[in-house]
Structure 1
Amino acid sequence: MKTTTVKAYGATASTEDLKPLDIQRRLVGADDVKIDISFCGVCHSDIHTVRNDWKGSTYPVVPGHEIIGRVVEVGKNVSSHKVGDLVGVGCLVDSCQTCASCEQDLEQFCEKGATWTYNSSDQHIEGAQTYGGYAKSVVVDEKFVLRVPENLDEAATAPLLCAGVTTWSPLSHWKVKKGDKVGVIGLGGLGHMGVKFAHALGANVVMITTSPEKGKDAKRLGAHEVLVSKDEEDMKKHRGSFDFILNTIPVGHEMDPYLALLKIDATMVLVGAVEPLKPFNGGSIIMGRKRIAGSLIGGIKETQEMLDFCGKHNITSDIELINIQDINKAYERVIKNDVKYRFVIDMKSLN
């Protein structure tokens, strides 16, 4: 397949800073959409991949799976997007489309292996890998390109493509509704979106945090109450009262204190800790028929539903806009939790 050279920013080794690179993108095929990238969010997964924390990185790595831009070219078979449209690309750019998961619009669980936006084998260029949104443009199959409501702030919409759908999907799947008591554990990039979504769905939202100083911001974002998990008396007061808990803690942690908060038949969903958890007591779930579940991003249909909901309720992420030249400093700040609540790169700075 013919390719063209595109300016990008990436890493050539796990110990190296990100720097300017030239990468190869395929030319627009019959089913493809070419997007000039305006903004790209910075996800902690970008850092894990650049630094090979998960031991699966192939270099060079060009991260970025929270992509917002305008369509500049479409293939002859494309019917869902046209030149000038505001669009997004999230964590997925391909899947087999034929397995049971894909047929249920769950491309993230493709049985033949989803193609991720970066650091995956490219299905279109033999021997190549996918490169993400820290770049001038991208070419993506139209099925994996999302419509972005024009009323939303473009830069602040970028993190919805990962942080947004990661928190929306479990709230939607477990049918959180008006009047439910919903706990959101952790007020970071994921947690702040969980609070916004649960509030917009009409739930009674309780921000659960170890840091009392986060309480004021949690209420600004839509939490009705703040529960400090280190406060034993407060934890006792809330015991057995939650219909649903969204757990965004990104590292291994004690589960029992949070499981005690659930009602009978209630669910806690993990979206953060992709690593071993501390042992928990089986009685914590047996005594109350409680559930611990997990959730990974969302399929394309669900991501579109999330974006449409955001357009209707004017929901975006709280962001700090940066130039691409500041990306290495931004990575250090993400690791120190020094961002409220997501970095987004203004890709015009790549010029």
Structure 2
Amino acid sequence: MSLELQLAWPCTHITLEEVVTLDYDRQWLQTSQPVASLGAMRILIDNELLIPQFGLSVPAALRSFVAGPFDLVPTENVVTITAPAGTQTIALNVTVPVRRTAAELANELLRRGLTVALPEDDGHGYLLLSDTSRVGSDSFVRVSGSAATTLGFGAQLVSDRPWRAQGRDLYPGWDLLKSGLGRRPKFRVPILGTPVIKVSYTTTVSQCRRCRSTFVENDYRFTVGGDAIFIQNEDLLYQAALKILLTDLGSNPFHRWYGSRIRSRIGAKAVGGVASLISEDVRKALQNLQQLQVKQSQYQQVSNKERLYAVLNVQVRPHQQDPTTFLVDVVVQNASGDPVQLNIVFTVPSTVALMGSNMLYLGGPPR
């Protein structure tokens, strides 16, 4: 029994983390395909910042410039913390000189009812005050009082250590707007700097580069564990037959006998003659597949379920409304006696999709 990588998958029309550039106005993102859905869009900047549609802002966070423990004295025990939600002044419980860690001070401030900012130990002995009421440029945290310097906020001798922290608007919001023949994302204000921008999105069927409007993506896929997905038995026979029928004869420079002339027949004027030629091409290609499997069996085990035994039926029908489109129904039988059915639609490129925009399958309902 042999294995083969599975190639054909239903196309999701999803583009993942496409690197895009900004247009001259620094607002439009130049995706290679139009965007079909707002809900599936993701904008990633510098491989770490996911930008929501309303933009990305961060709250003010003021970190002490020295790590604890902190030496407190009774005469310097008052701290005033101001944030957009209000101002609170708290007298620390210090009656004699005492040394306290950042975690102990954070717990005391919380017990004393501090609500304008969330104090916490950052894990390295520093005291961090973060605004919890707002984000962006409207967010701020300000520390004052006799204990401010002792706690590491606003030391007089260190001019680059502010008493105040301000929130920031990192990136503006964006919208999905009409651009040309489709829709593309546009930031609400120009972007500064040279960030690396990656966009994930779904595109329209007619513009999908993964399946080229065929609804079928021919590519490898892998499990969540990183293992390639293989097929065997009847599925392998189904894929092997489709591959040789869909490959242009002579396109493989190492095996020019491999493939068929079916695609070159499409578009000819003599519809009846074309159908006969396609039927003959199908039988010749499948006969070559049989010979290939005979040679393969000399070096590798070929199971009865994957071996092509006979071609039972080949039907070629032109589409009723488009003479350049043909529906080919092929029924083959493996060496185990099981029938395997192939359904293929051949059409001139860019005339009729395999499943049209009206969501109807050409040649009848989907099987």
Hey, which of these two has a bigger chunk of helix by percent? 1
Fold match by TM threshold 0.5: no
Query: What is the TM-score with the length of structure 1 in the denominator?
Result: 0.21
Larger strand percent: 2
